[in-house]
Amino acid sequence: MHNPVKKLAAIHDLSGIGRVSLTSVIPILSSMGIQVCPLPTAVLSSHTQYPDFYKVDLTEHLHPFIKHWKNLKLKFDAIYSGYLASAAQVEIVEYIIDSFYNKGMMVVVDPVMGDNGSTYASLGMDLVSEMQRLIKKADVITPNLTEAALLLGEKYSEAIDQETIKEWLLRLSEKGPSTVVITSVPELPKNKNTSVIAYEKMTKRFWKVSCHYLPANYPGTGDSFTSALTGSLLQGDSLPIALDRAVQFISYGVRATFGHNYDTREGIMLERILKNLDNPVNMGTYELLD
C-alpha cells in the first residue's frame, strides 16, 4: 500500500533521561513529516553516560514484535537502526531488513558503539564484529570517527588527516553502503572546527560540512544528526543539502544549549530548536572535496 506519509521503522533504545535515541529520533522525524514506528531495543532509566543506569534488554521480545508487524503487511519507506542492546540484535535487524525489503526502501544504519575514542558502557566488543556485518545491508551509514575506526579495525586518533578520512570512507563504502558519512571529525588546529565528511558512491564525490567547535560534549547529538539527515533525504534533498541541514540543526542545538548553565549529560535542548527543521538552508556551507 502507498504511504501518503512516509513510514520509517526506528530500531533504537528508549532512554528516559538524556535525549538520546528514540527521544530524539521521534520528535525530529515527526517534525519533518515522517511517521516513526519505534521498535525499542532496550528501555533504560537514562542513557549509559550516567552512573547507575537501569537497563532492560528487549532482545527476546523483538521477534514477536516483528511477527505482528509482518502480519500487518506494513510497507516501510525506511528502516533506521541505532543503539542495539546486544550483539544478538544485529541478526534481528538483518532479519527485519530482509523481511520488509521493498524497492525504494532506504536502510540507514547508525553503528552506535562509542565516542571520543572509547566504547559505551555495557556494550561488548562482540558487537563490533556483528556491526561490521550489518553495515553491508545499509544504504547509508553514519559512524562517528570512533565507530569508523572500530568498523575498520583501525586505531582512533583525533589527529587524522583528510586523505586518511577519504580512504576510510572508500573502504567503508566498499563493504556495501552507497553513502558513508563520518561525523565528529576534528579539524586541525585542534578545537577550532569539527566536520562531517561523506562519500557518495554513485557520483564518486566527497562532501564536507564544517562547523565551529564549542568545548562541550552532548550525548545524543549523533542520533539527532542522523535523524535530521534521514528526514532530509526522505524529503528528497540531495546528500550535500541533507548534510548541511543536519549539521546546521545540531550546531543550532549546541548553541541554544551552551549558553545555559546546564548539565551537559541532558543533551541539547531539542525542544527549543525543532521548529528550525522547517527552515530552508539559506546559506549552505558544503564543500566538494577533490
Binding region for ligand PXL (CB under 6 A)? 13, 15, 20-21, 44, 47-49, 83, 112, 120, 219-220, 222-223
**Closest CB to ligand PXL among 11 and 172?**
11
Q: Which lies closer to ligand PXL via its Cβ, residue 219 or residue 240?
A: 219
- Residue 243 Cβ, how far from ligand PXL at the closest point, in Å? 19
Q: Which residue intervals of the chain are DSSP H helices?
A: 22-31, 59-71, 88-99, 126-134, 145-152, 162-174, 221-234, 239-258, 270-273
Q: How far is the CB of 122 from ligand PXL (least distance, A)?
A: 8
| Closer CB to ligand PXL, 48 or 194, in the complex | 48
Core vs surface per residue 196-211: b (16+ CB within 10 A) or e: bbbbbbeeeebbbbbb
The CB-of-20 to ligand PXL minimum distance in angstroms stands at 4
Nearer to ligand PXL, 59 or 162 (CB): 59
Q: Which is nearer to ligand PXL, 114 or 240 (CB)?
A: 114
**Inter-axis angle of helices 221-234 and 22-31, nearest 10:** 30
Residue 119 CB, shortest distance to ligand PXL, in Å, is: 10
What's the grid cell of residue 32? Answer: 519533518
Least Å distance, CB 88 to ligand PXL, is 17
Residue type present at position 86: S
